[in-house]
Amino acid sequence: MLDIPCVIFAGGKSSRMGEDKSLLPFAGFSTLTEFQLSRLNKIFKTVYISCKDKSKFNFLTENKEAKFIEDTKSINTFAPTAGFVAIFEELKEDSFFALSVDAPFVSQKEIKKIIDADTKDSDATIAQTEFGVQPMCGIYHRSLENKFTKMLEQDNHKLGFLLKSSKTTFVNFDDEKPFLNLNHPHEYKEALSLI
């Protein structure tokens, strides 16, 4: 079990999907969020769900394994930036592993490779494939807390720019498959066929 806390980001708008992807059924679970929580609880000692409002997960609030970090209520954005600010306020640890709810195929193998590549000098350690950076799969350190707060104040949500302008360790992966994101209905259907 990994000591670093893991945070599942499940507060997005899901505009490309046309419905809240965090609530879509997946792999025998009634929601993608439950699937991610179940499997990541076997890898990490502590797993949190980052969201705008935990009431949409009322089916999970009875589950003692479900821990939530809600975005600050006054912040009216669905960008992950709001989640990062709330997470740094909530957690005592200096770093955490971030994973988007819609990345169900990132396995312990990929997670371990990222953790092994992380250094104390890094602001972030992030997965990268030949198709680009995967900002919602990797480790973020508290050294970025002030930058996230400024980004939120300026309504700037470009994680790629933040990572390029910080001390980021990029971890290269040859295989794109684990990083399939379920952004569109066709990607969700493809994912269902891969289970």
Q: pLDDT tens, 72-111?
A: 766 676 788 999 999 999 999 999 999 999 999 999 999 9
Q: Provide the pLDDT for residue 162.
A: 96
Q: Provide the pLDDT for residue 32.
A: 95
Q: Provide the pLDDT for residue 79.
A: 82
Q: Provide the pLDDT for residue 61.
A: 57
CA-to-CA distance for 162 and 176, rounded, in angstroms?
Answer: 23
CA-to-CA distance for 115 and 120, rounded, in angstroms?
Answer: 11
CA-to-CA distance for 157 and 154, rounded, in angstroms?
Answer: 9
Q: Provide the pLDDT for residue 137.
A: 98
Identify the segments of the chain with pLDDT beneath 70.
61-65, 73-75, 77
User: In this structure, is the dihedral angle defined by the CA atoms of residues 13, 2, 137 and 146, taken in order, positive or negative?
Assistant: positive
